[in-house]
Structure 1
Amino acid sequence: MTAATTATTRTATTPAAGAVPARAVDLHRDHGRGATAVRALRGVSVAFAPGTFTAVMGPSGSGKTTLLHCLAGLDRPTRGSVHWGDTEISRLPERRLAPLRRRRIGFVFQAFNLMPGMTVEQNVELPLRLAGSRPERGAVRTALAEVGLAGRERRRPAELSGGQQQRVAIARALVTRPDVLFADEPTGALDRATGHEVLALLRAGVDRSGQTCVMVTHDPVAAGYADRVLLLADGLLVEELERPTAALVADRLGRLGTTGGPFPASRTEV
């Protein structure tokens, strides 16, 4: 089976339109133009059901971060569409997209992206202030309590460990109660033990609160926290694994890095 055929026949399970917080339809993204253009995404269709945790993986240059940024409205597709619920956001002008993004989407970065001159509480309040809302202290403190940082409202980022800073970033992303939480390598700057704590926190948000989470990661152990794993190669969605073990993810990812193409249809649990 060729890679082109795989792109049209292997599509992640797609619930009914309007029933999902986020979905992409035939998503293409080119960087540059003409003969030097890089085709980062080549026809990816995928949907994310409410209350699910999805990990997106693939070799360097596979398109996973581009997919995440397009889904979160941080990048524009060249062709195809991105939908948040019943709203197609792909062609919205930035003046309409920005306020919608602040209300509907949360984003967690690898590098935390906290404001060093602000307190923890002020950092968490920031999305609400940018959206023109008056922050409710109770909502901010509830968000901090949910990530295990109650009592640290007055601290500044430099006074916290890396894991605590990432927890602040997660609280900031969740304070608006977004439809989807996107996370780009959220444990990439953390040691393994602290990374497990952050992953357990994301998993708990899905299980307890019904949060929808989509995470890019290179770590099979991190992917093992997810309900499903999407594997990308050369801008194509080539494999979808449901509730895989870390060992199975590592095996599939290793073979993908070796072959640069899709896997056989059969799946053997490890």
Structure 2
Amino acid sequence: MAQTATATAPATAMTTDAGTDIGVGIAARAVDLHREHGRGSAAVRALRGVSVAFAPGTFTAVMGPSGSGKTTLLHCLAGMDRPTRGSVWWGGTEVSRLSERRLAVLRRSRVGFVFQAFNLMPAMTVAQNVELPGRLAGERPDPDRVVEALARVGLAGRERHRPGQLSGGQQQRVAIARALVTRPQVLFADEPTGALDRATGHEILALLRAGVDRDGGTCVMVTHDPVAAGYADRVLLLADGVVVDELDRPTAAQVGERLSRLGECA
């Protein structure tokens, strides 16, 4: 049976308190999400029924011990991995049931992803790196949008530089510009400061925070750093593939203490 580009949200989660379509009030969400790797007795259950929603204009940090499922959750939410069971929604669209082709088209316009290792092409200029996802999709790049995206991350005038001419923090800014150039509704970030020194990491976190506060964007970030989590509005704590706690605007000390109780050395 052919798969459709849109689907109707479950009746149990159709409306907000105001009675409007939840697609308006929720940027992304997971419903009873399960993910298994492998089969039979060797199967590893990375996610065990996670349900979580992310409202527009919010910054969420996802944390937990090694092997807790936080990166798997991020990849499923971003459409980079398929859940074994359950559903993923961007607004009012269920994306976990789309074909790979339709998912790829929607992903380019609706979400952005920032990797820890930058994932830039060293032989390309900064501008070409920002344009690359669109070019791979067969789209003609918009030079004005590229310039705007680089200006937003503080790299105006660096369009002709190559990644090797930039610091690690500047390279991560290029990666963020690449993720923002399509003006996504949700920005997913996997350990975006993991390869940076603390001072540069703070600059990147402040940039992500500004994208939420200034532009009303939604950011979901996996991190192991309690200080990084302190930039978020809330912190989701995972252990053994389930959400075990949620902290509202916690301090780094509060996050570190809760992580210690989960068995992670913060």
Structure 2-normalised TM-score?
0.90
Are residues 1:236 and 2:234 paired? no
Distance in 2 between residues matched to 1:224 and 1:95, nearest whole Å: 37
Worse-matched range after superposition: 87-96 or 101-110: 87-96
Identical positions, percent: 82
- 1:132-211 matches, within 5 Å, as 132-211=138-217
Are residues 1:17 and 2:22 paired? yes
1:250 to 247, 250, 256: 256
Distance in 2 between residues matched to 1:127 and 1:155, nearest whole Å: 18
Q: How much does 1:86 deviate? A: 1.0
8 Å contact kept, 1:23–1:47: yes
Are residues 1:61 and 2:28 paired? no
CA-to-partner distance for each residue in 1:124-158, whole Å, 9 max, x for gaps? 11122233332111110010011000011000001
Residue 73 of structure 1: aligned partner: 79
2:115 to 109, 128, 136: 109
8 Å contact kept, 1:127–1:176: no
Worse-matched range after superposition: 87-96 or 66-75: 87-96
The one-letter code sitting in structure 2 at the alignment partner of 1:17 is: I
The one-letter code sitting in structure 2 at the alignment partner of 1:86 is: G
Unaligned runs of 5+ in 1: 1-13, 259-270
Distance in 1 between residues matched to 2:132 and 2:111, nearest whole Å: 14
- CA-based RMSD: 1.2
Q: How much does 1:17 deviate? A: 2.7
Residue 4 of structure 2: aligned partner: none
Q: How many correspondences in the alignment?
A: 245
8 Å contact kept, 1:103–1:131: no
The one-letter code sitting in structure 2 at the alignment partner of 1:29 is: R
1:85 to 87, 91, 94: 91
1:49 to 44, 55, 64: 55
Distance in 2 between residues matched to 1:255 and 1:142, nearest whole Å: 44
Structure 1-normalised TM-score?
0.89
Distance in 2 between residues matched to 1:132 and 1:101, nearest whole Å: 15
Distance in 2 between residues matched to 1:128 and 1:91, nearest whole Å: 24
CA-to-partner distance for each residue in 1:22-42, whole Å, 9 max, x for gaps? 100000000001111000000
